[in-house]
Amino acid sequence: MSVENDIKIGWYGLPSADFHFVDEIIKMRGDKKILDCIQCGVCSGSCPVNFAMDYSPMQIIRMAQLGMKKTIFSSNTIWICATCYCCSDRCPQGIDVGDTMTTLRNLAIKNGYIRTLFETLGNMIIKFGRTWDKQEFINEMRTDAGLNSITTINPVELTKLIRQTNVEKLLKVKEA
């Protein structure tokens, strides 16, 4: 999360910045909107989890323009983003900041950066077909509340699909 990852000399001296990074984002997103940011801060002011981020959404957009990819990948911001799209709805430049956060997460994972929580959740989906294992006590509570039981998911089809997409490699899947 240190800007030292990208900046070795001076403010935005950028000797180790990747100037092709923004092109990578543009290619993945299919538009150049990220270049239109005017640093107004509306996205950061609208973000319900901005308080917990080490860099605000506005800063992340600027850092992306400047090629500071290691700092972005190491920051907690892209992982904390709740994908609520308040920022996207309000950006006066029409930038889909929320979706850009997803793009940045995808790029981070491709580059070998992943938070343990996401790795764990990915492994849970592969194993159980959902982000948690069905547990009997949950069904007992649901029955008591007059709700239907949660059905068991057979993750075989899902696992087949995941194997074909190479997601396992990205998630460093642990054998059951």
C-alpha distances (whole Å) from 54 to each of 19, 39, 78 are 23, 17, 10
Give the type of residue at 145: A
| Binding residue count for ligand SF4, defined by CB under 6 A | 27
Q: Should residue 57 be labelled a site residue for ligand SF4 when binding is judged by CB under 6 A?
A: yes
Q: Should residue 106 be labelled a site residue for ligand SF4 when binding is judged by CB under 6 A?
A: no
Tell me the window of 5-13, 38-46, 68-76, 104-112 that interacts with ligand SF4 (CB under 6 A): 38-46
Q: Should residue 153 be labelled a site residue for ligand SF4 when binding is judged by CB under 6 A?
A: no
Tell me the window of 8-16, 22-30, 76-84, 129-137 that interacts with ligand SF4 (CB under 6 A): 76-84
CB 77 within 8 Å of CB 58: no
Q: Should residue 108 be labelled a site residue for ligand SF4 when binding is judged by CB under 6 A?
A: no
Which residue number, 33 or 69, has a Cβ lying nearer to ligand SF4? 33
Q: Should residue 141 be labelled a site residue for ligand SF4 when binding is judged by CB under 6 A?
A: no
Shortest distance (Å) from residue 75 CB to ligand SF4: 12
DSSP assignment of 46-99 equals H-TTGGG-SS-HHHHHHHHHTT-HHHHHHSSHHHH-----HHHHH-TT---HHH
Q: In 10 A of CB 74, how many CB atoms?
A: 17
Q: Which residues 6+ apart lie within 8 Å of 98 measured at CB?
A: 81, 83, 84, 85, 86, 87, 88
Using CB atoms within 10 A of its CB, is residue 42 exposed (0-12), middle (13-18) or buried (19+)? buried
Q: Should residue 61 be labelled a site residue for ligand SF4 when binding is judged by CB under 6 A?
A: yes
Which residue number, 85 or 128, has a Cβ lying nearer to ligand SF4? 85
55: tokens are 């860099």
Tell me the window of 4-12, 57-65, 107-115, 118-126 that interacts with ligand SF4 (CB under 6 A): 57-65
Site residues for ligand SF4 per CB under 6 A: 37-43, 46-47, 49, 57-58, 61, 81-87, 91-93, 95, 97-98, 101
